């Protein structure tokens, strides 16, 4: 399954389509991931910039609290009274509450940024930690137990942490405009922070009433840092923002605070002035508020730019991802359409090829194998794929191969039909010769008086009958039906007895009948042939001193016949092969000539629906033959038998019959016949089809010589009373005990006019049924013939108008010779009469 050439076409197409699709998906995924990452970064950046409003609010509140706390500490150290401490606490308490409120708002706004980048989270944690220190240090302001630098340093650290958090948002290296926007409001916040610390220093000096030693140095440093931050702001700010700052700097409140601050600058001639605390705090607070307003404007501008950039990036990402998905869907759709078209064409081609290989071609071959059907035009279906690509060309090639195979099969069928026609012609010719030989033997047997010579003639008669059975086997293999027909039901026991009369070692066969079962007349001849082949096989492959038992009886709706021998048996493999051949008749080939009996049984069984199975017995082989219900019939009406025709019995049998009728002993009427090594039939009597027992003497069993193989009675020759079967036709013919009026073995016609009590005269001219395609008259078979027998009644003499049996026998013999000669002279080209008109030279079916 891992080899590429063993993959199914659907798998190969899926592989061809999936691999490029996966490669495209990987590349598109990488691109989309980058875009999604940028979108996420810009979205986080916009949120971080937006939270800057809360950060600047906290910074402003802490600046207010820090600057006021610095002044209150200076005042407490100056006076140190409890009233002053209470006033300081009361003044600082609203500022502390405002700072706590601003920090709470910051915490709420920072909750969505819990998954922000690590740098921002670290800076935010530092802010919270620094503010906790501020909250902790507040309690040390009123007692003034700590130095001002220690207390104010906590405020400085918290404000510095907040400014670092404000500067933390970063849009990336490729977003220069957004970086400048962040830098602008950060620098402006630093300018505001330095301005606030200058205010705190001056307010502390005003509340203390004097400057400390290092206050001027601190103020100088703060002013320098403020100018640096202001320069950085002007560099990064837009023209509008610079103009806005200049406008604020010209505001009277801003200029008033600047003027007061200039008074604190050191001069060469004098010391810096100490400003009034309330005046300085009010002026500086107004300037601080103006810077706060400008800071909010710059921050809002940065937040707006960040939101626009984030929205723009999100839109671009969605467009790119949508484009990728659309391209992928279109590619997949086109691939599916192309793959489906290819797969459908291949599936249709595969289906047509399998249908040709498994259905159409075997059905055509099976149709051509049947020999009784004409070979007509066989249509080859067109190709199911009508495309002009390679698959369509392959479909046309399949159709061409199918057409060539059908043409070859038709040629083979025609050739096989020609061969079968040759078989039929040769078999018919051989049958004519055998019939003539049997007639000649009949004449010699009637004229011969020497018992030993008569026995030799019987042996020749028997060999000729077996030759005729071989000819009939050839007809069966050629697909032609047997010409021996009965039209009235015949007892199954009579059929089996007739079959035993067709084999060489008939003396070894013992019959056991389990009930009255009758077989339809049209199948009697071929069933006799089938059972004769099985009996021949049973006697040929068993010791001469053993018996072959034939057990027959009804079995449900059908009948069952078992032929049991004590022979060599068969191996399991050979038995399975033989049963398979019996179950499905094969076509005639070279093997048929080697095992002709098995082939004939298989074909005859399939023709009539007879099931034949072989199985191993205790000492030999058992052949089970199951006759279907369709081959069984009700017993015909019982009528008294007519006297036996001298034609159907040999002179010895006729003499024996007369001796029994006159009350004489059958043994005294028969001559002596050399003893045979085989066993004798039970009771020394041969049962007829309807239960009339016929004394048997002086005749070997064989295939019949025809209805007219004897011309008249001959002098009786004494024979021993050893029971010897007659021919199959003698056993099954109406003269041997069947009801009068039945058709002979060559016809399926109903009872003759003589059997119905009327004897119309024969027409002077042949009866015809019109003309055929060549303008020749078509004769009606047997239209000029009348019945040869009529049922006898007790004590009622036969009608005087009955024809002489010898004359009728001669007439039937000449007619039968003509029929056989016509069948032997048939050529491959046959004249088919119009529908409904019986053909000449063949009995009506």
Mean pLDDT across 601-630: 89
Mean pLDDT across 73-87: 77
Looking at residue 464, its pLDDT comes to 83
pTM above 0.75, yes or no: no
The C-alpha atoms of residue 716 and residue 666 are separated, in whole angstroms, by 12
Looking at residue 73, its pLDDT comes to 87
3-state SS string over 642-670? CCCCCCCCCHHHHHHHHHHHCCCCHHHHC
Looking at residue 198, its pLDDT comes to 92
Looking at residue 834, its pLDDT comes to 44
Looking at residue 589, its pLDDT comes to 66
The C-alpha atoms of residue 341 and residue 348 are separated, in whole angstroms, by 10
Task: List CB contacts of 331: < 8 A, sequence separation 6 or more.
Answer: 21, 24
Verify that 136 and 284 share a domain, yes or no.
Answer: yes
Q: How far is CA 173 from the centre of its chain?
A: 61
Between 69 and 586, the higher pLDDT residue: 69
Which token pair is 828?
């491959």
Burial of 135 (0-12, 13-18, 19+ CB in 10 A): middle
- Candidate from 8-22, 365-379, 535-549, 743-757 with smallest mean pLDDT: 743-757
Mean pLDDT across 128-148: 87
Query: 317 lies in a domain?
Result: no
CB 328 within 8 Å of CB 25? yes
The C-alpha atoms of residue 182 and residue 662 are separated, in whole angstroms, by 149
Query: 789 lies in a domain?
Result: no
With pLDDT > 90 as the criterion, what percentage of the chain qualifies?
A: 20
Q: Of all helices (H) and strands (E), which one includes residue 469?
A: helix 451-477
pLDDT reading at 72 higher than 60:
yes
Between 691 and 101, the higher pLDDT residue: 101
pLDDT reading at 443 higher than 60:
yes
Looking at residue 627, its pLDDT comes to 92
Q: How far is CA 350 from CA 355, 359, 389, 460, in A?
A: 8, 13, 16, 63
Query: 568 lies in a domain?
Result: yes
Task: List CB contacts of 28: < 8 A, sequence separation 6 or more.
Answer: 324, 327, 328
Which token pair is 572?
């399991």
CB 355 within 8 Å of CB 37? no
Which token pair is 193?
């922070």
Between 800 and 368, the higher pLDDT residue: 368
Query: 552 lies in a domain?
Result: yes
Looking at residue 743, its pLDDT comes to 36
Range of the domain at 631: 432-751+805-823
Q: Of all helices (H) and strands (E), which one includes residue 345?
A: helix 277-355
Strands 490-491 and 518-519: antiparallel
- Candidate from 268-282, 383-397, 440-454 with smallest mean pLDDT: 383-397
Which token pair is 817?
């010779």
CATH number, residue 555? 3.30.565.10
Between 660 and 278, the higher pLDDT residue: 278
Which token pair is 195?
């301005």
Between 424 and 648, the higher pLDDT residue: 424
pLDDT reading at 695 higher than 50:
no
**Total number of domains constituting the chain:** 2
Q: What are phi and psi of 768, to 5 degrees?
A: -120, 165
Using CA of residue 151, residue 152, residue 155, residue 156, what is the dihedral sign?
A: negative
pLDDT reading at 351 higher than 70:
yes
CB 441 within 8 Å of CB 457? yes
Q: Rounded to 10 degrees, what is the CA torsion of 162, 163, 164, 167? A: 120
Q: Of all helices (H) and strands (E), which one includes residue 133?
A: helix 118-137
Report the range out of 69-83, 487-501, 766-780, 782-796 with the highest average pLDDT. Answer: 487-501
The C-alpha atoms of residue 76 and residue 142 are separated, in whole angstroms, by 8
Between 637 and 722, the higher pLDDT residue: 637
With pLDDT > 70 as the criterion, what percentage of the chain qualifies?
A: 73
pLDDT reading at 353 higher than 80:
yes
Task: List CB contacts of 182: < 8 A, sequence separation 6 or more.
Answer: 49, 167, 169, 170, 171, 302
DSSP 629: G
> How would you classify residue 340: left for phi > 0, otherwise alpha for psi between -120 and 50, otherwise beta?
alpha
Choose one of 283, 312, 341: the last residue of a domain.
312
Choose one of 249, 280, 312: the last residue of a domain.
312
Which token pair is 825?
């002279």
pLDDT reading at 506 higher than 50:
yes
Query: 179 lies in a domain?
Result: yes
Q: Rounded to 10 degrees, what is the CA torsion of 696, 702, 706, 712? A: -40
Mean pLDDT across 180-198: 91
Give the pLDDT confidence of 514-533 residue by residue, as tens digits.
Answer: 678 889 988 888 899 999 99
Choose one of 255, 284, 312: the last residue of a domain.
312
Between 186 and 115, the higher pLDDT residue: 186
The C-alpha atoms of residue 197 and residue 200 are separated, in whole angstroms, by 5
Looking at residue 681, its pLDDT comes to 34
Verify that 304 and 445 share a domain, yes or no.
Answer: no
Q: How far is CA 551 from CA 449, 511, 532, in A?
A: 38, 6, 14
Mean pLDDT across 746-771: 42
The C-alpha atoms of residue 389 and residue 342 are separated, in whole angstroms, by 10
Looking at residue 161, its pLDDT comes to 93
The C-alpha atoms of residue 505 and residue 503 are separated, in whole angstroms, by 6
CB 279 within 8 Å of CB 257? no
CB 723 within 8 Å of CB 680? yes
Calculate the average pLDDT of the chain: 75
Whose tokens are 């046959």? That residue is 830
Q: Of all helices (H) and strands (E), which one includes residue 607?
A: helix 596-608
Task: List CB contacts of 241: < 8 A, sequence separation 6 or more.
Answer: 184, 294, 297, 298, 301
Task: List CB contacts of 388: < 8 A, sequence separation 6 or more.
Answer: none
Looking at residue 809, its pLDDT comes to 63
The C-alpha atoms of residue 356 and residue 599 are separated, in whole angstroms, by 29
Q: How confident is the model at residue 733 (pLDDT cuts 50, 70, 90)?
A: low
> CA-based Rg of the chain, rounded to a whole angstrom?
64
DSSP 359: I
Looking at residue 819, its pLDDT comes to 73
Task: List CB contacts of 827: < 8 A, sequence separation 6 or more.
Answer: 425
Query: 324 lies in a domain?
Result: no
Query: 834 lies in a domain?
Result: no
Residue from 642, 608, 611 nearest 520 by CA: 608
- Candidate from 388-392, 492-496, 764-768 with smallest mean pLDDT: 764-768
Rounded-to-5 percentages of helix, strand, coil across the chain: 60, 5, 30
The C-alpha atoms of residue 45 and residue 168 are separated, in whole angstroms, by 9
Looking at residue 685, its pLDDT comes to 32
Query: 790 lies in a domain?
Result: no
């Amino acid at each position: 399954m891992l080899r590429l050439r063993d993959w199914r076409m659907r798998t190969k197409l899926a592989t061809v389509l999936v691999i490029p699709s996966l490669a495209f998906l990987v590349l598109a995924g990488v691109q989309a991931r980058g875009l999604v990452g940028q979108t996420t970064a810009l979205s986080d950046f916009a949120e971080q910039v937006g939270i800057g409003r809360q950060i600047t609010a906290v910074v402003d509140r802490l600046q207010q609290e820090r600057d006021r706390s610095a002044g209150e500490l200076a005042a407490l150290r100056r006076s140190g009274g409890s009233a002053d401490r209470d006033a300081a606490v009361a003044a600082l308490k609203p500022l502390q509450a405002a700072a706590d409120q601003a920090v709470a708002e910051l915490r709420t706004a920072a909750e969505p940024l819990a998954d922000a980048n690590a740098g921002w989270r670290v800076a935010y944690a530092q802010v919270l930690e620094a503010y906790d220190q501020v909250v902790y240090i507040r309690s040390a302001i009123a007692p003034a137990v700590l130095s001002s630098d220690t207390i104010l340093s906590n405020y400085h650290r918290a404000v510095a942490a907040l400014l670092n958090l404000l500067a933390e948002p970063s849009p990336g290296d490729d977003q220069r405009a957004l970086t400048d926007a962040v830098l602008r409001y950060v620098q402006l916040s630093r300018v505001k922070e330095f301005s606030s610390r200058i205010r705190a220093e001056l307010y502390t000096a005003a509340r203390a009433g004097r400057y400390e030693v290092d206050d001027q140095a601190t103020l100088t440093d703060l002013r320098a840092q403020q100018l640096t931050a202001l320069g950085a702001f002007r560099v990064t700010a837009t023209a509008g923002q610079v103009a806005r700052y200049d406008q604020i700097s010209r505001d009277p409140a801003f200029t008033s605070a600047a003027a007061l601050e200039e008074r604190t600058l050191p001069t060469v001639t004098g010391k810096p002035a100490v400003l009034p605390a309330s005046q300085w705090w009010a002026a500086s607070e107004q300037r601080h508020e103006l810077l706060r307003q400008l800071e909010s404007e710059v921050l809002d501008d940065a937040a707006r730019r960040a939101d626009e950039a984030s929205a723009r990036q999100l839109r671009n990402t969605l467009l790119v991802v949508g484009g990728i998905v659309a391209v992928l869907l279109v590619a997949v759709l086109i691939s599916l359409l192309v793959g489906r078209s290819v797969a459908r064409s291949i599936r249709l081609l595969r289906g047509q090829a399998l249908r040709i290989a498994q259905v159409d071609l075997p059905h055509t071959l099976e149709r051509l194998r049947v020999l009784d059907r004409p070979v007509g035009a066989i249509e080859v279906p067109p190709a199911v794929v009508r495309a002009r690509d390679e698959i369509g060309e392959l479909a046309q090639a399949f159709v061409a191969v199918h057409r060539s195979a059908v043409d070859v099969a038709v040629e083979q069928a025609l050739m096989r039909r020609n061969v079968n026609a040759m078989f039929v012609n040769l078999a018919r010719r051989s049958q004519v010769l055998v019939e003539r030989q049997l007639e000649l033997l009949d004449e010699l047997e009637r004229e011969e008086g020497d018992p030993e010579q008569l026995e030799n003639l019987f042996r020749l008669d028997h060999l000729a009958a077996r030759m005729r059975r071989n000819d009939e086997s050839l007809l069966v293999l050629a697909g032609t039906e047997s010409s021996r027909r009965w039209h009235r039901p015949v007892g199954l026991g009579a059929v089996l007895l007739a079959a035993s009369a067709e084999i060489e070692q008939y003396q070894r066969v013992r019959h056991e009948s389990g009930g009255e079962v009758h077989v339809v007349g049209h199948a009697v001849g071929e069933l006799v042939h089938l059972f004769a082949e099985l009996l021949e096989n049973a006697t040929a492959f068993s010791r001469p001193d053993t018996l072959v038992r034939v057990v027959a009886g009804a079995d449900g709706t059908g009948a069952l016949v078992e032929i049991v021998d004590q022979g060599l048996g068969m191996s399991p493999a050979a038995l399975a092969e033989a049963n398979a051949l019996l179950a499905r008749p094969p076509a005639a080939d070279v093997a048929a000539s080697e095992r002709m009996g098995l082939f004939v049984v298989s074909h005859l069984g399939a023709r009539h629906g007879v099931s034949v199975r072989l199985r191993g017995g205790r000492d030999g082989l058992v052949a089970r033959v199951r006759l279907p219900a369709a081959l069984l019939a009700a017993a015909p009406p019982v009528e008294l038998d007519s006297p036996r025709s001298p034609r159907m019995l040999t002179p010895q049998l006729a003499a024996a019959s007369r001796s029994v009728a006159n009350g004489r002993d059958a043994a005294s009427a028969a001559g002596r016949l050399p003893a045979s090594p085989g066993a004798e039939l039970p009771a020394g009597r041969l049962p007829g089809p309807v239960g009339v027992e016929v004394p048997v003497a002086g005749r070997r069993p064989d295939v019949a010589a025809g209805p007219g193989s004897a011309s008249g009675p001959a002098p009786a020759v004494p024979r021993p009373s050893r029971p010897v079967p007659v021919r199959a036709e003698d056993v099954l013919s109406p003269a041997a005990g069947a009801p009068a009026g039945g058709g002979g073995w060559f016809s399926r016609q109903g009872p003759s006019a003589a059997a119905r009590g009327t004897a119309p005269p024969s027409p002077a001219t042949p009866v015809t049924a019109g003309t055929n395609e060549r303008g020749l008259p078509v004769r009606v078979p047997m239209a000029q013939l009348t019945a040869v027998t009529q049922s006898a009644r007790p004590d009622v003499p036969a009608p005087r108008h009955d024809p002489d049996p010898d004359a009728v026998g001669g007439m039937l013999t000449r007619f039968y010779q003509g029929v056989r000669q016509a069948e032997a002279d048939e050529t491959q080209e046959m004249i088919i009469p119009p529908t409904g008109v019986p053909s000449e030279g063949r009995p009506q079916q």
